[in-house]
Amino acid sequence: MCRIGQEPGPHDADNEDDEEGPTAAFAALLEDSVEELYENAPCGYLSTLMDGTIAKINGTLLAWLGQERDAVVGRMRFTDLLTVGGKLYHETHFSPLLRMQGELSGIALEIKEAGGGRIPVLVSSVVKHGGGGEPQLIRTTVFDARDRRAYEEELLGARKAAEQARKEAEADRARLQDALAVLQQSLLPDSLPSVPGLDAAAHYRTASPDRLGGDFYDLFPIDADRFAFFLGDVCGKGPQAAAVTSLTRYTLRAAAVHDPDPVSALTTLNQVLHERYTGGDPRYCTTIFGTLAPDPATGRVTVHLAAGGHPPALVLRGNGKTEYLPTPGGLLVGVLPTATFTAATTVLEPGDTLLLYTDGLTEARTGDDRTALYGDEALLDFAADHAGRSAQDVIQALTGLLDDLGDGLDDDTALLALGAPALTPRTEATA
């Protein structure tokens, strides 16, 4: 302990010769007397006999308790000052430890005020031994811990509030995820319709679960003999992109019924998008739109399609040949008030499959440093290995490919395969 100057103490008698020195003047400034210091110290003092009977107590502690000295000294034990919980703790922990160790410090207890209130305190005790080593009495200091307790409660309260806020944020996030999932589903068909004479399969992969994707596809009847399909990619992500996707989907569906010619349908969509999103925040999409006319007699499916700004469809022939169906020069849909779109036609023989995809697949980053792109050539090679397979098989193979590309997929990917079913070998069936 560091002593500053010389406090008047029990040994002051030894220092009386120095009374005239500067030390004495300093001491006089500090404290009038030891008794004064004891009585009005900024902490409570008490001394008890070994059985706990209070032998001496200072004014500070009496003031906290709201008790008179006469009612306490020789009449009460230390534990009488404590709350029920404090008493219990004193009996089971405090007292045994004190007897064992001879001292204890900083134990948090609560003392009772005369008015019924409680004061949180920190208690330290030390056993004073007599000349023969036998325990004589217990000296105890009591520090007011109200400020400290209040601070602890504040901390606890802040922690509870933070915990609550975190729970609420998690719940909000879960709700938002649910809402997004429902919206996302409304942008895509629940399931593809069953089309006589046609195999159809689709797959949709979002690159990020909490950002609404902008890819879309659909397949639906336009008259007794024909179906229409489309697949595309709206620029951007999130709710704004989803709004464009929704507008695009329903515009194309309506346009197809009005005039199923692919270039006409895309022209209508172009006008609608350009009119709606003119100005500083252009919204547009890339789309392939087409019609399918299955011929029950031959098993062939005639495809008319047109594309605007979209990567070309792939045709996987049953004989193993795989090729792009080029639609060069078709402009992004919605950018200009008038735009040109490029039409193409093909006939799917039984066993042939038409594959539509969005650029999430071909623009997937590959390689160790994720800087190379998967690319058109790689897709052509991959598709060639699966030529002659059913639409479902082709989609399943591509789903596996997307799994392999993993986090190289920066963007959503939509896949739609439309195939003319291979003819069942009749010779074998009838044999």
The letter for the amino acid at 223 is D
Reported in sequence order, the residue ranges of 298-404 that DSSP labels E, i.e. its strands, are: 301-308, 313-316, 322-325, 342-348, 353-357, 365-366, 372-373
Distance CA 362, CA 36 (A): 89
Site for another protein in 234-263 (CB under 8 A): 235-237
Quick one: which of 335, 355, 394, 417 contacts another protein (CB under 8 A)? 335
Amino acid code (one letter) for 177: Q
Query: How many residues sit close enough to another protein to count as binding (CB under 8 A)?
Result: 28
Residue from 330, 351, 388, 419 touching another protein (CB under 8 A): that is 330
User: Residue 79: which of 125, 35, 133 has the closest Cα?
Assistant: 125
Structure tokens at 342: 């490029």
Q: Establish if 331 lies at the interface with another protein (CB under 8 A).
A: yes
> Does 337 interact with another protein (rule: CB under 8 A)?
no
Rule CB under 8 A: say whether 328 interacts with another protein. Answer: yes
The binder of another protein chosen from 286, 287, 291, 413 (CB under 8 A): 286
369 binds another protein (CB under 8 A): no
- Cβ proximity to another protein, 125 vs 245, nearer residue: 245
Give the residue, chosen from 59, 189, 282, 350, that forms a contact with another protein under the rule CB under 8 A.
282
Which range, of 75-83, 132-140, 265-273, 303-311, touches another protein by CB under 8 A? 303-311
**Residues in a beta bridge with 292:** 227, 303
The continuous run of DSSP H or E covering 277 comes out as none
Binding another protein by CB under 8 A: which of 22, 115, 116, 279? 279
> Is residue 240 exposed (0-12), middle (13-18) or buried (19+ Cβ within 10 Å)?
middle
Pick 215 or 352: Cβ nearer another protein: 215
State how beta strands 313-316 and 54-57 pair.
unpaired
Exactly one of 30, 171, 174, 336 binds another protein (CB under 8 A); that residue is: 336
Q: Is 213 among the residues that bind another protein (CB under 8 A)?
A: no
To 10 degrees, the CA torsion angle through 179, 182, 183, 189? 170
User: What is the contact surface with another protein in residues (CB under 8 A)?
Assistant: 233, 235-237, 279-282, 284, 286, 308-311, 328-332, 335-336, 339-340, 359, 363, 373, 410-411
